[in-house]
Amino acid sequence: MSNMKLKSADAGQAGWRLPLVVFVLAHLVGTVHSTAITVMVPVIKTYYQAPYTAVAALITWYSIGQAVSSVPNGNMIDRIGVRNGLLVGFAILFSAAVLVSFAENIFMAYISLFMMGWGYSAINPATSKGVFLCFPANRRATAMGIKQTGVPLGGVMAGLLGGLAVSHSVEASGWNLHWQTVMLIISAITFVGVGLCFLLPSSLNKTEDVTEQQSVFGELKVLASDRQFNRYVLSTMAFNFGQYNFFTFLTAFLTKVLSFGQETAGVIYSGVQAVSAFARPFWGFASDFFLQSRKKALCLVICSLAVICFSACSLISYAGAPAWFGICISVILGATIASYPPLIQAMTVEAVEPKRIGSALGYTHMGMHTGACIGPLAMGAALDLFNYSVGYGLTAVVVLTGVLMLGFGFREGLVHQDEKL
């Protein structure tokens, strides 16, 4: 039996509840940083006097930070363990949040968001590997879904904090209820994440079975040599293109297309995130207990529904619709395109050898965040050059491409844990 399996048993003896709670809260703390930026897009646009393309580039730089660091951070997790990897991620997130709080121009903000992406890209592989170590395969999708509730819960917090800054932006002067004040508050929340790391059992601190010979580029070469795994990663790129477009422009869609006020839009944004917080563990539970862990099939259904909803957004933007209908579509997107990641992460950890889990998650996240880089830029350009209808239509086409690629290009479970890619 491998050392990885022994450590999994040790983690189980230490109890699974506390690590899972820590993983949820780690995602909450990590997510609130970038999500607050998306909520505050309207006021940031006004503050920097920038077009949508330039403001959307904030999220693009965040995603670039995640994309370029995903494989190195995943490899780092394999080398230094879950707890230490989380500490590194939170340290970078804190620095980035402080920096953006003092960003006098949008270019300085770009650097801050790049750092923020680099920091958060350590959180996901660390918590996902932690789930692998603590849970058996037939409960892993459920556990992934539960720990991923931290993402939308962080979005709920960001929606409330960001909505407050947006709604008071007209009266704000200096640091009084300024959007950068919100980011400074969020930097302080990072210390909660640091404290959580020390609650994890020592069995999650090291991975002795990772050899010195496993370099970042060596792992990347091994992972990139498998064509089916590459098609799988490309499909996640398309899905994240849709997810980041949805959240980056949700408040703008609610205010510009559906004519809601800024504060109301922030509340709706938080509500959509709350829906995602429920949907993520629900999809994992459904996969484990009702579909015999058929994660791929469920992911295809979820993302196909998202294609329909993005198409509806395109029609609403062109022809108009009652506000309640737009809210319903937003809620469904919160339950679909915003809630598919736990299934992807569960499929990823089961597709490779245990010693390669961190690197495989990093490679998958690199693809996902490449989509997140391209999505907001493409959507922002569509808004500046055309309109919301074109932007959401483009998003629907890209997500549909991902559905087809996953459906016909990847066979779940083809690469087993005791085999090489």
Stretch 272-276: mean pLDDT: 86
* Contact (CB, 8 A) for 391 and 382: yes
Confidence of residue 194 (pLDDT cuts 50, 70, 90): confident
Determine if residue 413 is left, alpha or beta; phi over 0 gives left, psi from -120 to 50 gives alpha, anything else beta: left
pLDDT of 243 higher than 90:
yes
Stretch 86-99: mean pLDDT: 92
Stretch 212-224: mean pLDDT: 62
Q: For residue range 393-405, what is the model confidence (pLDDT) as tens digits?
A: 999 999 999 999 9
Tokens encoding 371: 């989509």
Residue among 160, 145, 125 at smallest CA distance from 277: 145
Q: For residue range 152-179, what is the model confidence (pLDDT) as tens digits?
A: 788 788 877 876 765 444 444 444 457 8
Q: How far is CA 216 from CA 69, 164, 220, in A?
A: 10, 42, 6
* pLDDT for 399: 97
Tell the CATH topology of 3-409.
Answer: Growth Hormone; Chain: A; (1.20.1250)
pLDDT of 208 higher than 60:
no
What is the average pLDDT value for the chain, to the nearest integer?
Answer: 81
Where along the chain do its domains lie?
3-409
pTM: 0.74
What secondary structure does DSSP assign to 271-338, as a single string? HHHHHHHHHHHHHHHHHHHTSTT-HHHHHHHHHHHHHHHHHHHHHHHHH---HHHHHHHHHHHHHTTT
Report the alpha-carbon distance of residue 304 to residue 401 in Å, rounded.
10
Report the alpha-carbon distance of residue 141 to residue 146 in Å, rounded.
9
DSSP 8-state secondary structure symbol assigned to residue 258: S
* pLDDT for 304: 96
DSSP 8-state secondary structure symbol assigned to residue 203: G
* pLDDT for 332: 96
pLDDT of 222 higher than 60:
yes
* Contact (CB, 8 A) for 65 and 370: no
Confidence of residue 45 (pLDDT cuts 50, 70, 90): confident
Stretch 298-309: mean pLDDT: 94
Stretch 313-322: mean pLDDT: 89
